[in-house]
């Protein structure tokens, strides 16, 4: 029985590892972005949490950006709290744009309206 449980655990972990990606595979460190937007959603998840913000462009169009961060467990250990990222909160964010040029970025840091800076860092 222990062997069967061990094998199932290994299969589960292997699947999770294969689903994970390297920073360089999806994001370009040569394409930094700085955005200011209003939080529309925060997904506290592992292996990556996601923040979604509405950013108004120069032409007035609003684009919803998806910002990948470290996993929820890491963010909490780094000082992030769910109360910091409620819907409607204005964030200034810095990160690196997705290679496919969609409105997606890997978040390096976020600055809250009160001036506090929350760091995510890039995984690489």
Residue 23's pLDDT band, with cuts at 50, 70 and 90, is: low
Instruction: Determine contact, residues 40/54, Cβ cutoff 8 Å.
Output: yes
Higher-pLDDT residue of 71, 8: 71
Per-residue pLDDT of 25-58, as tens digits, reads 689 999 999 999 999 999 999 989 999 999 999 9
Pair type for strands 62-68 and 104-111? parallel
Rg of the chain, C-alpha, whole Å: 17
Q: Domains in the chain, please, with CATH?
A: 24-119 (2.40.50.140)
At residue 121, the pLDDT reads: 73
Per-residue pLDDT of 84-121, as tens digits, reads 999 999 999 999 999 999 999 999 999 999 999 999 87
Q: What is the pTM of this model?
A: 0.79
Q: Residue 61 pLDDT > 50, yes or no?
A: yes
b/e 17-50 (16+ beta carbons within 10 angstroms → b) = eeeeeeeeeebbeeeebebebbbeebebeebbbb
Q: Residue 5 pLDDT > 50, yes or no?
A: no
């Amino acid at each position: 029985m222990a062997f069967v449980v061990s094998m199932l655990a290994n299969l589960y972990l292997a699947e999770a590892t294969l689903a994970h990606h390297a920073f360089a595979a999806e994001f370009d460190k040569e394409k930094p972005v700085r955005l200011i937007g209003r939080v529309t959603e925060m997904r506290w998840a592992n292996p990556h949490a996601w923040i979604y913000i509405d950013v108004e462009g120069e032409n007035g169009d609003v684009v919803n950006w998806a910002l990948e961060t470290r996993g929820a467990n890491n963010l909490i250990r780094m000082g992030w709290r769910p109360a910091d990222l409620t819907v409607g909160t204005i964030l200034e964010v810095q990160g690196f744009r997705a290679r496919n040029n969609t409105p997606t970025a890997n978040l390096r840091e976020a600055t809250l309206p009160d001036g506090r800076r929350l760091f995510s860092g890039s995984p690489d």
